[in-house]
Amino acid sequence: MIFIVSGLLLALLSEFAVAPRIVARENLRLWHSVGSVMYLLQWVCAAATFGKLLPPRPQVS
């Protein structure tokens, strides 16, 4: 559940906090880097969520 909420929070922050600063071109290098890191963290949260949703592997004896 924490990965879902974190991914949603990252999406909201990048949409309403980072993207307007990139469009306004204020300190473009910094905000583009912050946006890229946030996008990467969103993918990490999505991968962790899908990893938790996978059924457990069968035990091989």
Residue 21, pLDDT score? 93
Query: What is the pLDDT tens value at each position of the chain, 61 positions in all?
Result: 899 999 999 999 999 999 999 999 988 999 999 999 999 999 999 999 999 998 888 888 7
CB 35 within 8 A of CB 18: yes
What's the CA gap between 14 and 38, in Å, rounded?
Answer: 7
Residue 58, pLDDT score? 85
Torsion, Cα 31 36 42 45, to 10 degrees, reads -120
Residue 60, pLDDT score? 82
CB 10 within 8 A of CB 38: yes
Burial class (CB in 10 A: 0-12, 13-18, 19+), 48: middle
